[in-house]
Amino acid sequence: MSMPRTALEKLVPVYAQGFFTLSPTGIYQVVIYEYIDREKYYHKIVEDDELYTDEIERLRTIIEDELAKELIKINEERAETIINGISIAFHESPEHVSLIFFVFIKGVIKNGINIYEDYYESTKAEYDYDAYWFLPPSWRILEVVASGRYDVYGPTNNMLIISARRGDDISGYEKIVFEAVL
């Protein structure tokens, strides 16, 4: 997923991380984009309920548009993406803002071998990012195709970290084959 575009081109992207948790009905995803906001725009927004509500809706539209550009498949069927929530958070100072997106990727996970695929526009990474995949303990990851570096680990190979660094070539395709025990 690429960084959300906003009318505020003054935000400087710093880092992103995504957390993916699998279930029989699909994939729960939390994506956190970290920025430097020198004008403290988002800090001002959170202090005004109306501005905050408007900004959350604007961010929802932006992330929905970005997700619509992707083709996500689970077991060769197009998966539906649902935005369950959006949050704005700060750390260290009002200039360090995080935009947090809670997404559900709806698809049928079956007992046995499953395939997750994501097709999107190839690019160069604008910032460092890490994606963490967590499968139930009885499930295991069998194959990974992804740009950047990745490591499968955990007691049953049920965890995955995919990492890319600023400037890395990103192919526009990810594939994760996993075995589910339902």
At residue 2, the pLDDT reads 46
pLDDT at residue 75 above 80?
yes
The C-alpha atoms of residue 44 and residue 94 are separated, in whole angstroms, by 9
Q: What residues contact 69, with CB distance under 8 A and at least 6 apart?
A: 120, 121
pLDDT, one tens digit per residue, over 2-58 is 444 454 577 899 999 999 999 999 999 999 999 999 989 899 889 999 989 999 999
pLDDT, one tens digit per residue, over 126-156 is 999 999 999 999 999 999 999 999 999 999 9
Cα–Cα nearest to 6, from 120, 88, 83: 88
Mean pLDDT along residues 118-125: 97
The C-alpha atoms of residue 99 and residue 88 are separated, in whole angstroms, by 5
At residue 9, the pLDDT reads 73
**What secondary structure, in 3-state letters, does 18-85 show?**
EEEEEECCEEEEEEEEEEECCCCHHHHHCCCHHHHHHHHHHHHHHHHHHHHCCEEEECCEECEEEEEE
At residue 7, the pLDDT reads 45
